[in-house]
Structure 1
Amino acid sequence: MSRNSESIDENMICSEFQEKVSEVLIRHKSILDIVTKLDEYNARINRAVMKSVTSCGCISIEASKQKYNKETLEELRESLENHVNGELCEVCSEKIEAEMGAYAFYLASLCNTLGISLTDVIIKELNNLKTLGVYSLK
């Protein structure tokens, strides 16, 4: 994970981001626009990942059936594959990050429209993960 050289208070980053989204979003203010933009950027993320495989070739995908015959959840977690070989090149990584950033923009916008705190959403999910641990099975 790369970090910006500026010092950003990690506790405030989601709130600040959500506030800035609220300030700059003009054209796609309708919830109808927002949810379709989320779908659009989800597809753009997927497309950028696939182009990393098919056009650039910096990563490859070798998928096969996962083997779930382990005794413990720890053994299972360690044995399951993500099916990705290689590492994203700088160009592909930047493209995917840009698409993810746009997705995060519209996610924050949806939170604003519905009166939900993105920070609270992340904190609640983190607390669920901490409480349930591997038993969250996502």
Structure 2
Amino acid sequence: MPQQTISIAIVQNKQKELLISRRQKSQHLAGKWEFPGGKVEQGEALDTAMCRELKEEVGLTATEYSLFESLNFDYDDLTLTLHFYLVTDFTGEASELEGQQIKWIQPADLVDYDFPKANITVINKLL
């Protein structure tokens, strides 16, 4: 089964809201909500990948962050190793750079959005 390593940014603003984005129609798990992030490239450090993906997807530069959770998750066709970073300070304004919908929400509202199953453990920890 194919395996991918993913680095993800859980971005928290000064109001303690979290940034989420909606996966596009052309993507695996289309229509689901997620935290910004993506595949770690060959030889790339996990935190470097998170920072790169955050900049590419929503235009933010992480300036303070720490590893929040690492876990493995098996889908029927894919095994993921996920590394979630909690970003508590950043520069820039969040933008929909890849055409995806983004929004800031309260952590308690995470339960109102349809996230991939691989995110449930982390969402429960954030609540």
Which TM class, normalised by the smaller chain length? under 0.3
Q: What's the TM-score once normalised by structure 2's chain length?
A: 0.25
Larger Rg: 1
Counting strand residues as a fraction of each chain, which structure ranks higher? 2
More helix by share: 1
